[in-house]
Amino acid sequence: MVENVPWRPAAGAWPRGQEAEAFAWEVYGFPLPDVHGTREGNLEIMAEPDRMLQERLGETSYRKLVALGNPGVDEFVAEFIKLCDPASVFVSTDSEEDRAYVRRVAIANGEERELAVPGHTLHFDSYHDQGRDPANTKYLLRPGTDLGERVRSIDKEEGLGEVLGYLRNSMAGKELFVRFYTLGPAGSVFSIAAVQLTDSSYVAHSEDILYRPGYENLRDLGPSAEFFRFVHAQGRLEDGVSADVDKRRIYIDIESNIIYSTNTQYAGNTVGLKKLALRLCVRKAAGEGWLAEHMLVMGVHGPGGRITYFTGAFPSYCGKTSTAMVPGESIVGDDIAYLREIEGEVRAVNVENGIFGIIRDVNAQDDPLIWQALTSPGEVIFSNVLVDDEGAPHWLGNGRPAPERGINHSGEWWPEKEDEASNPVDMSHRNARYTIRLEHLDNYDPRHNDPAGVPVSGIIYGGRDSDTWVPVEECFDWAHGIVTKGASLESESTAATVGAEGVRRFDPMSNLDFISIPIGQYIQTNLDFVADVAEPPKVFGVNYFIKGADGGYLNAPQDKKVWLKWMGLRVHGEVRAIETPTGLIPLYRDLRHIFHEHLGKDYEAEDYARQFMLRIPEHLAKIDRIESVYRRQVPDTPEIVFELLQAQRQRLLAARGRYGAYVPPFDF
């Protein structure tokens, strides 16, 4: 707790009059009358936020806030207290006492309920608030700002008027939680300070698990420290859940580094430091010469206790978390990474401190490490699963019999239940989640909190691809990898995806939904990133979903361990590779040895030939698709993209003339 902090005098501490109005333009990016409705009211709050804070916070929370010594934080908090009008405000430090208070409130107000296993709690979102809302997630842009046709946006003045209108008085009768976090390890060149305002104890509790505490870090940064800002209000509640989901809005102000979220509880819309903050970071990184990526960070173990670190980008349902959790390897992070060039070397950190994971199909056989964490005492939040009368959670694909009755996100549940549209209600929502700390996993890497990050030796791109990419392939060089793997990443839709199955979705670097700059600029930033790196990381493509003529998968789920081990050996030059028109693939004898050593199974030459066959027609069709997307939809595409795609096309055509359309790897 913070004690003996002198109260800051209001006089002379803040700009006034026309200076206050100019200050608002500079800091917030919009004129004061757009914030609270009257010029006089806004000038008053900008002039003396201390007076409001003293009145509204109470002495304990006020002292915590001003102890930070950051006028920008005070102004931010004061502004939204004035706008949202909470009944009370709780300012949290990094202390366990403050964090425990949030957990108690979450149980007391019904946002979470205790389960049978100590430390486990359950949260339900509204039946109609079960996932990210892309249609209402928009950038606030000034006229003339263009992020490309794929980016949803709204005029900044119009959008602010709408979302601030929804936020006005939205916390009446509720408690506002003021939270401080650090994206990346504290005290590091990677770290970014963040302040979250929310009236949801569930959101605050989730962030305590998912992110590193940041109160002390922000105080150490001094009075002029910059920080990301997040404002979330649940809106009007019915039966404890957001009632006005038709007014759900998630608006992103990339100029002021602030995100607004209202009339929603689902964590993907409300835990601002996750994918919402990634949008801010992509832009910040591009301007400063580093990368903010939708990537795992993991260590692959090799001879003599060696650990080789990789990052990896995979769209949803393409094996990202299962790759990070391969038994015998170590996890640094499963979702978001920052990459920087430091003294001629690429290094990376996990932005987060925990996992907000899809729980569907997590079971003891396929996911032993996660299963152990989810079934042992410890701090875990389950969301939108079924709970039975004994206080045990159940979810789809957990390998256990479903109970006859229970409670889920729809209320009372039974096997034949239907919703108001006569749709079957599953036992657990398909997007049900779990929230845990990384340190609860047995494969937790101790370098997770290293302020210098981990050295990156390889970058992996993988999608759901039934007929083109081989299971693992090394690119010729950095630019070849960024263009033909990262910028050409696609993923096929599945039966679990709304819409037709098997449709390929273009998703460069698995980051399309979060790119907050023109796509061409984003690709160029990736290409330029290693300009000062002595030995850039190797770039690999993987594909766990290649199918044979009978429609069955040619790989088993556990085979990904072999592909990881081969990549680890390639990074250190310990195995050779076969050059093909699209990249470098493993030798059969090396894979046979790795399969035997690490999986204890025989690997037949026939399997190798089918898995690593070069499918030239499919590769040519992919190049045509990717080139068409960039020519039609990305006017600022770097010319090198077309040059490298054309060069790959010519190599494929030459191979077809020599070997035919489908080339077994032994022919090379």
Which sequence positions are flagged as catalytic? 318
CA distance 402 to 428: 10
CA max distance for the chain: 83
**Matching residue, tokens 């949008």:** 279
**Does residue 85 contact residue 169 with C-beta atoms inside 8 Å?**
yes
HEC sequence for 466-533: CCCCCCEEECCCHHHHHHHHHCCCEEECCCCCCCCCCCEEECHHHCHHHCCCCHHHHHHHHHHCCCCC
* CB-count exposure of residue 377 (10 Å: 0-12, 13-18, 19+): exposed
Q: Is 446 left (phi over 0), alpha (psi -120 to 50) or beta?
A: alpha
393, two tokens? 């959670």
- DSSP SS3 for 121: strand
The two tokens of residue 527 are: 């290409």
How far is 203 from 381, CA to CA, in rounded Å?
A: 11
Nearest to 101 by CA among 223, 181, 204: 204
DSSP string, 73-97: HHHHHHHHHHHH--SEEEE--S-HH
**148 contacts: CB under 8 Å, gap ≥ 6:** 518, 519, 633, 634
